[in-house]
Amino acid sequence: MRLDRELLLNHITDEDQILNMRKLLDKLEIVLNKHTIETTNFMDPYQRRLARSILNRFLDISYRELGGINKAERKVIQVYPEYLAHEDIELPIGFLEIEGGIRTLSHRDFLGGILNLGINREKIGDILIHEDNVQLVVKREVLSYILMNLTQIGRQRVEVKEISIDELKPGIIEYEKIFTTVPSLRIDVLISSVWNLPRKESQGLVKSKGVKVNWEPVERVSKEIIEGDIVSVKGYGRFMLNSTLGMSKKGRVRIELRLLK
């Protein structure tokens, strides 16, 4: 069977993601033709939503999303013939735990230490930071390499060991609470408020495709943000609109933002 890629992708307007979905179709075609089991690299929630919009059209396959923990941000998608039971299929991901002088290290430090080994970002899932250790979710194909070669992060010596999925724990999410008032919940207004930027600058970030809402690129500066939305701004960071707290006497919206560290 040869899949009609143009037809299957014609509902996707995000050009940056079309290549990723083409890779998914390559794997899907292999499953349909050879009845094998195929696994994608790690995807963010937006990419997985696009993937589901394709996979759900096919009755001859099943798939599952795997990230180690239920609320994982990054997950792989494993595609297999529908007659197979997922309980009989080996997990395509593995789990590592890092110990040793880690208290002064950040998420960025851990990710950088892994990427410095020459490993592609798409092979790495969530990095779960705890008080005494850090847990990694990775594709099984790179697990042994990390286990043998990750001995130092920054200037800190570290020890790495393999753990089971049952030992995984949700990480600590660190954030700074920001209480403020804004004239509206437009995305450019919130970006300007969080990082004290001129409106023109925040609008430029949106128009240049430097802003994502819930991992999806946005280009409309007037987009309204709602409670629970996560906004990421390239070069600045991420924040969540945690709650709206009514109106001020001057008619501004009182909000609580969480600037994710």
Phi, then psi, of 147 in degrees rounded to 5: -55, -40
Q: Which residue intervals of the chain bear CATH 3.30.1370.160?
A: 5-88
Domain 93-167 sits in CATH 3.30.70.330: yes
User: Between 3.30.420.80, 3.40.50.300, 3.30.1370.160, 3.40.50.450, what CATH number should domain 5-88 receive?
Assistant: 3.30.1370.160
> Which amino acid appears at position 147 of this protein?
L
Q: What is the mean pLDDT of residues 149-174?
A: 93
Task: Note the pLDDT of residue 104.
Answer: 80
Burial label for 16, CB within 10 Å (0-12, 13-18, 19+), is exposed
User: Where does 106-197 show beta strands of DSSP type E?
Assistant: 124-129, 134-139, 152-153, 156-157, 159-163, 175-182
Q: Which residue intervals of the chain bear CATH 3.30.70.330?
A: 93-167
Confidence tier at 105 by pLDDT (50, 70, 90): confident
pTM for the predicted model, two decimal places: 0.90
Task: Tell me the pLDDT of the chain averaged across its residues.
Answer: 95
Q: Which residue intervals of the chain bear CATH 3.10.290.10?
A: 175-260
**What whole-number distance in Å separates Cα of residue 254 and Cα of residue 185?**
10
Q: Which CATH class is domain 175-260?
A: alpha beta
pLDDT tens profile 42-87: 999 999 999 999 999 999 999 999 999 999 999 999 999 999 999 9
Task: Note the pLDDT of residue 103.
Answer: 76
